[in-house]
Chains A and B, each alone.
Chain A
Amino acid sequence: MSIQVQNISKSYNKIKAVEAISFEVKEGELFGLIGPDGAGKTTIFRILTTLLLANEGSATVAGYDVVKEYKAIRNSVGYMPGKFSLYQDLSVEENLTFFATIFGTTIEENYDLIKDIYIQIEPFKTRRAGALSGGMKQKLALCCALIHKPKVLFLDEPTTGVDPVSRKEFWEMLKRLQQKGITILVSTPYMDEAALCDRIALIQKGSILKIDSPENIIKDYHRIIYDVKAKNMHQLILDLQHYPSQYSVFAFGEYIHYIDKKADFNPKDLATYLTHKKHQEIIVQPAITTIEDVFMDL
């Protein structure tokens, strides 16, 4: 096991940030912590990177105990915090050299690992980190987290606030790093990214609600979801919310995802109801379940 977490709890004053959390990450696995802001993801990262002590429980990273062997952990992990934490007034190259030196290595020694990413920011290597665009900052931060060839890589919300194109590229980079044998623990509030992990833990309010592969999490979901669409989508949401046997009504992009309470629900009845409500261009059809659907029903 690359990461083992057992019954970890952490409170700040009276607020419980994480409560009795346990999970394991296998060597070489790409494991996702999926949950919204405030779920406790950053607290877990800080405990595992030895920056914060848990109130209860134990954890190991790369075989080392997070309390007793914290120094060994710091040498064997890379950590990219959610907030940009490089030196704004050092250049791209200076930041990278700095992190390499701190870890007793050189850029040349592990260049293979960062090459794919670094060549994208190399044209700007004399630019101060503070003057980089969001996407470039993110790539530099990843290079700095990788420069000492860590066994385990911790990425706390690396794609928050990043546009869909850059997000896609970032995940492609992660897949390549995984192929080089690095274990990756990554957190994200974007549910569509969950599908790209080997296994995920769904977290909310400091507790893990479910751990499994994305495929299994979707397969285990037992409710039938319908895509509903009509010309006036806002009115449609309001009318669906008033349908007597509705279980949940949520906008999902182009469609509304509708779930009914009744086992013998007939979509035709719903279509009739909507016709009575004067809706036009009504569509009611079975939907494809996503991680986001499962998450919202936990």
Chain B
Amino acid sequence: MAHDDPHRFADIHEELHRHLPSEPALRVKALESLLVEKGMLDPKAVDAWIAVYTEEIGPKRGATLVAKAWLDPAFKQRLLGDGARVIVELGFEGWAGGHFKVVENTPAIHNMVVCTLCSCYPHAVLGVPPNWYKSAAYRARAVREPRAVLAEFGEIMPEQVEIRVWDSTSELRYMVLPERPPGTEGWSEAELAGLVTRNAMIGTQRTLRADRSGRP
């Protein structure tokens, strides 16, 4: 079948729509049973992947990168210049990390990341994306009215700050390096990392606060 035939998969979806169980949980259960019976799946490996994405691969990795960049200008330059290499050095490499790119917020520029065509996300350093990032509303609105979107996240952006929205249309994966909040002089890497939120690294939060309540 032609690689660009728009009916190639649409016709299969039509069949699936009519025949699959109505509940997602039942659909997943049926798929798992089938793959195990066909010798294509080991349920213990499924458990292991869930543990990895619950306990290990998540926004703490990104927060570590941010804290290191705040403390070490040379590290920051390498992170901005070749993020994919830096995450290998830290053992953070993985899915969607091959072309990892960090963009830096400044007093004049605010960066915000979206994927309008699907839900591309730097999984290797931020883990599983939040539902809002994958929602139709965010994907539709982020490129057209980023200031209204930011307001819904509690950020009122001054007009003189330029917003740069990064639409992840290729295999490059973007993460925002937020500004270090004032009042954090002398803080340790772990303390600084404790301030960094997932939303700040996606760019839907601009302002981080020096609040030691979250310190490790």
A binds B: no
